Amino acid sequence: MIIYGAGCLKEETITKTIWQYSEKLDGETMDLLRGIACDYNKVKNYAYDRYSGIKSIDKLVPGYEILNEMRAGGMRQQLGLPAVYFEMALFEAIWDIKAMWQNLKNKIMSLANRNEQLTADDKSYIRIVLKINSVYSAILNDRPYEMPEKAKGLCIDVKPLNNRIKRWTRKYKATPRSDSADTFRVTPGGYSYRNGGIRLVSRVERKRVFIPLKDPTPYKRQLNIVIMDDYIKIAVPTEKKVIGCPDNKNVIYVHIGYKDMVTLSNGNVYGAELQKLVLPETERLAVKNNERGKVYKAYLKSLDSGDAEKAGRIENNNLGKIKYNSQKEKKYAETVKFINTELNKMFEKEKPCRVVITAPVRFGRMTKLSRSAKMMLSRSFAGYIRRRIEQKCCEKGIELIKINSKDTGNICSCCGAVGIRKQLDFRCEKCGAHMPSALNSAKNIEKKYLNNT
């Protein structure tokens, strides 16, 4: 059982992303921004390749040694990239490399904990080594090191353990890579708000590019610039105080579904029209993608046969994505607005002090799903709904609890026998219970939570 947001105080704050959107921009401005994003991405990938190896672990904290080396290397001058973008790209790469090493350490520790050949002292030694970067780095680079104080009393054979750590590191280590050339970050020193827009540092010294904004509210935070077809959007992380809901006394048990957005164990349903919004768009995209697939095959066939004129005609007239993306984003925005409206209604009407949901089900690599199931999952908003519930609970100081979803779908909530799920209905042959499968799941969530507390 996982608990979030328990005991949130009114003085606590959370980070929330606010989006700013630009007006439609001319081609010259878009080319300038895309050029900055492309070079920003080059800096990141260069740093990944050069500093994600075992010899650079000691340089990652605090990272200024890497910064000085990169400054001296002359890459910024070769690219003509302003320092405010160059240094931000470099530090973002360092953060990603640190995250890669931390994920690798977690993986190694997980492998050690599951290994029955290792003793408790062996596992303790591995845990201690992974927590001390200098020791971990020395082991990987075959350098002498001083045995950590906490490991001195352990009954262990150091050499095979170190070899095991190195072997696991070689096997599971990955080099980060960025294929996204349509986004970059900028610190407050690289922009200013003025005259209804934002002014970003350009490649020309002492000259900034002006970008008109639909909402020119000024901020003084690190910004993430995302480049779209003919406009940009800006992600601004802001601090928001936790509201707190002292009058809320209820506990609600929530099932997140496909037809009805959320069903509570008390029978209340919110977002009953979700499937009517999602299903037509899923079917439209399936037809559209099938048509585009046929056109793309014709394009490749023309290239293979040497008919460059036909291939160019197909590429210019049929393979564009401006209209495709515009329609897709419009439908997505409508669905997101509907979801948030219904969740706000739920929190306002139910007045919960605690929300209980199931943790998301994860499918393994060997799990085989039907084509229709894959399509439903690809267009499912269940993940978004979960994130919004988590966000709203955190904002309002409401306790959020996640429980395992096992036996919440196929068990009868009335008698506990295995029932029959047919599409959206649930029927129990033992006790004769008949209800929507979403309501049965919500009731099972309530029973399972109460039985485990």
123-142: pLDDT as tens digits: 999 999 999 999 999 999 99
Neighbouring residues of 34: CB distance < 8 A, sequence distance ≥ 6 = 181, 182, 227
Whether 40 shows a pLDDT value over 60: the answer reads yes
* Mean pLDDT of the region 91-106: 96
Which is more confidently placed, 156 or 5? 156
- In this structure, of 191-195, 357-361, 363-367, the range with the lowest mean pLDDT score is 363-367
Given a cut of 50, whether residue 65 has pLDDT beyond it is yes
Range 369-391 average pLDDT? 70
Q: Is the pLDDT of residue 148 over 60?
A: yes
What pLDDT is stored for residue 374 in this prediction? Answer: 52
72 token code pair: 């001296």
Provide CB contacts within 8 A for 157, sequence distance 6+. none
Which pLDDT band, with edges at 50, 70 and 90, does 92 fall under?
Answer: very high
Q: Give the model's pLDDT for residue 7.
A: 40
Give percent above pLDDT 70 in the chain: 92
Asked if residue 228 has pLDDT above 60, the reply is yes
pLDDT band at 379 (very low <50, low <70, confident <90, very high): low
pLDDT classification of 368: cutoffs 50, 70, 90: low
| pLDDT number for residue 5 | 45
Indicate the pLDDT class of residue 120, thresholds 50, 70 and 90: very high
Looking at residue 221, its pLDDT comes to 92
Angle at 223 between CA 219 and CA 224, to 5 degrees: 150
Q: Which of 130, 165, 167 is nearest to 150 (CA)?
A: 130
Residue 366 clears pLDDT 50, i.e. is over it: no
Q: Percentage of residues in the chain with pLDDT exceeding 90?
A: 60
- Check residues 322 and 168 and name the one with the higher pLDDT: 168
pLDDT category at 112 given cuts 50, 70, 90 is very high
Q: Which two tokens stand for residue 313?
A: 């005609």
Output the pLDDT for position 168.
97
Q: What is the pLDDT of residue 365?
A: 46
More confident residue, 413 or 4: 413
If you average pLDDT over each of 149-153, 305-309, 327-331, which comes out highest? Answer: 149-153
Q: What does the mean pLDDT of the chain come to?
A: 88
The predicted structure's pLDDT at residue 378: 52
Query: Cβ distance 390 to 400 under 8 Å?
Result: yes
Q: How many angstroms separate the Cα of 85 from the Cα of each of 49, 76, 231?
A: 19, 9, 20
pLDDT at 105: 96
- Mean pLDDT check: name the lowest of 70-74, 96-100, 268-272, 381-385: 381-385
Q: d(Cα 363, Cα 159) in Å, to the nearest integer?
A: 38
